[in-house]
């Protein structure tokens, strides 16, 4: 599918300016700010305020928190305090543009096997690409590390790494990958770019992957036609893997990943070219290409996603929460099965909300700007 005239050149020229402008919008969070939830209230509590470009987090079984910083540092937060010592033996990353040290996830049987997983942009022949490493945490260092996935090909681009990691109920690992700013690659099954990957926990390819027996496709691919998937989570109520991805100026999408599905980018999209506002691809619908479960027009620039399963906030159980980089807010979505029936935006000026997680205490935690924030029920 030919790229619309001048769209890539405009994006390539101005994307650094857009990135810088976005970073300037990291306004401070307002401690104690209330939002009238139905039927209760919540308030924000800053826990750590001196992180540097945090990207993802995960809770260890003992309550400690690991946080990735895009520059390549893996940080430990213990008893609400950021330790000065960083975790050693983290893989070398390419910290340029949207690349760096990105997602972190624990194996579903972490308590038994100790495996944790990191995604990051790595240097290689042709440029850089997303890789996934698994390792074990012993004290303040990683050991027994092994790279279980390398994106192919690596290319000379600093955009759209995607890079979320999520395990399903059967223990399969899903890796989300963006189009790297070169949109046509998302439709090419001979490369990983613009795809969702499905692997065994050790990097082996499942025999029932949809393209495992297709000589013209890479067997790791599970779905394709993605622009930049920066949110992925397991729906704990039905076991489905949900994702969301960035659209251009509009057309951010929430999707449920299904084997072999073509999600359409860049052939169909609800977004438009930057600056010119001109049409991309063939329109918004085409036979054989999936429609989004939910979309945002204009874009909110979503990042991070979590289903809430606790009881700490009255009326919030079974809701979906998504961070917004653009509007610096937390988006609360009310669901009816697999349908989004209501959207609310909670708080203002949080900083760019990069990740959302539910903690072992049943509370929601956010990485926003340079802060770790906790949502607490407001005193009554």
Three-class HEC string of 272-289: ECCCCCCECCCECCCCCC
Q: Which helix (H) or strand (E) is 21 found in, with range?
A: helix 7-24
Q: How confident is the model at residue 250 (pLDDT cuts 50, 70, 90)?
A: very high
Which of these CATH numbers, 2.120.10.30, 3.40.50.300, 1.20.910.10, 3.40.50.1820, describes 35-377?
Answer: 2.120.10.30
Count of CB atoms situated within 10 Å of the CB of 280: 24
**What does the pLDDT read at residue 322?**
98
**Between residues 140 and 20, which one has the greater pLDDT?**
140
Is omega for the bond preceding 153 within 30 degrees of 0, making it cis? yes
- Mean pLDDT, residues 255-269: 98
What residue ranges do the domains of the chain occupy? 35-377
Share of the chain above pLDDT 90, in %: 87
CA dist 213 and 349 (Å) reads: 49
Count of CB atoms situated within 10 Å of the CB of 268: 21
What pLDDT digit, counting tens, does each position of 231-247 carry? 999 999 999 999 999 99
Is omega for the bond preceding 309 within 30 degrees of 0, making it cis? no
The set of catalytic residues is 160
CA dist 184 and 285 (Å) reads: 17
Phi, psi of 20 (to 5 degrees): -60, -40
Count of CB atoms situated within 10 Å of the CB of 261: 18
pLDDT over threshold 60, residue 20: no
Share of the chain above pLDDT 70, in %: 89
Looking at 36-192, list the stretches that DSSP marks H as alpha helix, in order from N- to C-terminal side.
110-113
User: Would you say 341 and 354 are in contact if contact means Cβ atoms under 8 Å apart?
Assistant: no
**What does the pLDDT read at residue 79?**
93
**What does the pLDDT read at residue 378?**
83
What pLDDT digit, counting tens, does each position of 334-378 carry? 999 999 999 999 999 999 999 999 999 999 999 999 999 999 998
Facing residues of 105 across strands?
117
**What does the pLDDT read at residue 41?**
81
């Amino acid at each position: 599918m030919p790229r619309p005239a001048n769209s890539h050149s405009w994006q390539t020229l101005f994307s650094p300016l857009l990135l810088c402008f976005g970073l300037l919008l990291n306004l401070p969070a307002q401690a104690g700010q209330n939002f009238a939830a139905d039927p209760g209230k919540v308030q924000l509590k800053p826990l750590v305020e001196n992180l540097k470009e945090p990207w993802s987090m995960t809770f260890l079984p003992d309550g400690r928190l690991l946080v990735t910083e895009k520059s390549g540092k893996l940080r430990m937060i213990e008893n609400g305090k950021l330790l000065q010592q960083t975790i050693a033996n983290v893989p070398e990353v390419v910290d340029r543009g949207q690349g760096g040290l990105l997602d972190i996830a624990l194996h579903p049987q972490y308590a038994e096997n100790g495996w944790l997983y990191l995604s990051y942009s790595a240097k290689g022949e042709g440029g850089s690409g997303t890789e996934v490493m698994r390792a074990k945490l012993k004290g303040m260092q990683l050991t027994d590390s092994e790279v279980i996935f390398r994106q192919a090909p690596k290319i000379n681009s600093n955009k759209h790494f995607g890079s979320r990691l999520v395990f399903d109920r059967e223990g399969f690992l899903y890796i989300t990958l963006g189009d790297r700013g070169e949109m046509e690659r998302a439709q090419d099954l001979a490369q990983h770019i613009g795809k969702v990957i499905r692997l065994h926990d050790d990097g082996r390819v499942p025999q029932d992957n949809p393209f495992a027996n297709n000589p013209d496709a890479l067997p790791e691919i599970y779905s394709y036609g993605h622009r930049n998937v920066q949110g992925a989570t397991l729906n704990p109520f039905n076991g489905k893997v949900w994702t969301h991805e960035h659209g251009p100026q509009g057309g951010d999408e929430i999707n449920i990943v299904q084997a072999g599905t073509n999600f359409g980018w860049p052939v169909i999209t609800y977004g438009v070219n930057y600056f010119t506002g001109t049409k991309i691809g063939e329109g918004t619908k085409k036979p054989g290409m999936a429609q989004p479960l939910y979309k945002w027009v204009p874009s909110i620039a979503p990042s991070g996603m979590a289903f809430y399963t606790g009881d700490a906030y009255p009326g919030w159980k079974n809701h979906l929460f998504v961070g917004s980089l653009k509007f610096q807010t937390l988006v609360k979505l009310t669901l009816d099965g697999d349908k989004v029936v209501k959207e609310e935006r909670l708080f203002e000026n949080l900083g760019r909300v990069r990740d959302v997680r539910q903690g072992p205490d049943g509370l929601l935690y956010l990485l926003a700007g340079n802060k770790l924030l906790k949502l607490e029920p407001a005193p009554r």
